[in-house]
Chains A and B, each alone.
Chain A
Amino acid sequence: MGRMDDHSDDVPPPAVEAIALTKRFGDVLAVDGVSFAIAPGEIFGLIGPNGAGKSTLIKIFTTLLPPSAGIARVAGFDVVGEAAQVRRQIGYVPQLVSADGALTGYENLLLSTRLYAVPRRERRQRIDNALSVMGLTDAADRLVQHYSGGMIRRLEIAQAMLHRPAVLFLDEPTVGLDPVARRSVWDHVRQLRAALHTSLVITTHYMEEADEMCDRIAVLHNGRIEQIGSPAELKAPLGPGATLDDVFAHLTGAEIESGGTYREVRRTRADARKHS
């Protein structure tokens, strides 16, 4: 299925690939000539202050936003020219709430199997399996509006994985969750990934989470990649005992204090309220 134009037959295409990728909103360069590649099966973190371009990058790779210039590919497919193929290869858990609160957990999953054209004879089994892996079997027939924040996130991850995507994009999956729910979300993500060998692209503001989960991390600032490498590689230049928080502060400067725009604050807080 994946195209191999630019690669030899033995090497699969990168799970995600950006070449001089640029996104402009009016005069603002949200993403400024970014290039990187993510290997199949890799867990890749995108960190950076609000407005650094993390969500814009994810929106480009999930076909929601066309790039202004440059190339973006998922599993070898171009997000502009081959959007339909890209959509079959990806799962996306947006920062916002993507599970429908007026449906039950089971109905949300059923909707996804139908949208992704999972063969009918496999639907029931995949849904049951997803519910059990995510610890939601007992809640399957309850309306999602009565779920806790952690349960909603787990359901959203389940519904984004039913079609076994090559890449799963998680945009701030633990924002607004208490520490116990955060841990449970990451444990479930790990379990799912171990079973399906999916590549993960994660954005988060929690540096310890990024440190613990990611094989490699890109630090974004003003639409550019300031640094890219394993958590250990990023921390090493700052001396022993350095944390990823130190790396973040070092690379992005004072903007760690800015805390986002009105719109972002409203959204994050509304989310936090919903998830509590």
Chain B
Amino acid sequence: MKSDAPAPTRGSTHELSIGVRANETLWQIFAVADAEVRKLRHDPMELFTRAVQPVLWLVLFGEVMAQIRGLNGGTVPYLDFLAAGILAQSVLFAAIFYGISAIWERDLGVLHRYLVSPAPRIALVTGKAISSGIRGLSQAVVVYLLALVLGVSLKIEVAPMLGVIALIALGSALFSTLSLIIACLVKSRERFMGIGQVVTMPIFFASNAIYPIDLMPPWLRAVAHANPLTYEVDGLRALMLEGGASAFGLVADFGVLLGTTAVLLVIAARLYPRMVA
């Protein structure tokens, strides 16, 4: 097999290999994401279970809280305010347990197959993150339908809706990668379940998902400002709702989410091989 390889000069090998490598890596990312999407197609049950949570929150929590009028949605009614928060929350709650599938894959042996392949680790974790982003979109569909039924005034226009899709996919990728990092550190399902719960609550409550940040005491407000979920929800409110506005600006929202996701991916790529060690 070695004799088939052509023997180009050193310089051209180098130039060629960068282009070829990049192309290979893109294919490898696609391969991982595509495999996950195919699994979802074979068994779409997960999409339905994901849909349950936002329904419960909006119908039970949202309807009651909107009656009390104790919380103020700012420029929009509270139920509208909540709809964007619940969309981000339901994506978070699903994504934060994504790491369990990595532990599962390790216990089975599927992870070994990925790790002995020449695919760069960053390609593997990026592929997983993209697949999580795609999974999150099903929840956006459910929240939009439900919000329409509940009379939330949604902005039904192409560009903002594409923005919502991008934000949801990014948020899901971000928190699933955080989850993967936790999985790489704790390595066992039992410990992971405990930590997953512990991590989710502060991310959810120390954010603007279900109440405005202005209500918070200063220290909590500072935490909320360092919380990526806050920026996801902020962007969602601006893009989803008729009359919604972003407190930080959409560029900041997307910038924080993209930057955080990139950092988390680099960390996850470094830790991923530890799962089998």
B276 touches A64 (CB 8 A): yes
Which A residues are CB-close (under 8 A) to B114? 115
Check if B2 is an interface residue, CB within 8 A of chain A. Answer: yes
Among listed A91-99, A125-133, A227-235, interface-contacting one: A91-99
Check if B142 is an interface residue, CB within 8 A of chain A. Answer: no
- B window 88-117: CB within 8 A of A: 107-110, 112-117
B35 touches A117 (CB 8 A): no
B115 touches A97 (CB 8 A): no
A63 touches B113 (CB 8 A): no
A2 with B2, Cβ < 8 A, contacts A62-B116, A102-B42, A117-B28 known:
yes
A96 touches B109 (CB 8 A): yes
Check if A37 is an interface residue, CB within 8 A of chain B. Answer: no
Check if A65 is an interface residue, CB within 8 A of chain B. Answer: yes
Which A residues are CB-close (under 8 A) to B42? 102-104, 143
SS of A interface (majority): loop
Which B residues are CB-close (under 8 A) to A65? 276-277
* B contact residues, range: 20 to 34
Which A residues are CB-close (under 8 A) to B35? 100, 103, 107, 111
A107 with B38, Cβ < 8 A, contacts A115-B118, A117-B24 known:
yes
- B window 184-210: CB within 8 A of A: none
Expressed in whole angstroms, the minimum distance between the Cβ of A104 and any Cβ of chain B is 8
Which B residues are CB-close (under 8 A) to A115? 28, 31-32, 114, 117-119
In-complex Cβ contact of A97 among B34, B110, B116, B119 (8 A): B110
Task: With a 10 A CB-CB cut-off, give which of B35, B107, B119 has the most chain A CB atoms.
Answer: B35
A100 with B110, Cβ < 8 A, contacts A111-B31, A114-B31 known:
yes
Convert B233-277 into 0s and 1s, putting 1 for each residue whose CB lies closer than 8 angstroms to a CB of A: 000000000000000000000000000000000000000010011
Which B residues are CB-close (under 8 A) to A103? 35, 38-39, 42
Cα–Cα distance between A98 and B114 once the two chains are bound (Å): 9
A84 with B109, Cβ < 8 A, contacts A103-B42, A117-B28 known:
no
Contacts A87-B117, A104-B42, A114-B30 known; 16 new A-B pairs at CB < 8 A: A62-B116, A64-B277, A84-B118, A92-B113, A94-B112, A96-B108, A100-B110, A102-B42, A103-B38, A107-B35, A107-B38, A111-B31, A111-B32, A114-B27, A115-B32, A117-B27
Q: B: which residues have CB within 8 A of A? A: 1-2, 5, 24, 27-28, 30-32, 34-35, 38-39, 42-43, 107-110, 112-120, 273, 276-277
What would be 14 A-B contacts, judged by CB atoms less than 8 Å apart? A1-B1, A63-B115, A64-B115, A64-B116, A64-B276, A84-B120, A87-B117, A94-B112, A111-B31, A111-B34, A115-B31, A115-B114, A160-B113, A166-B1
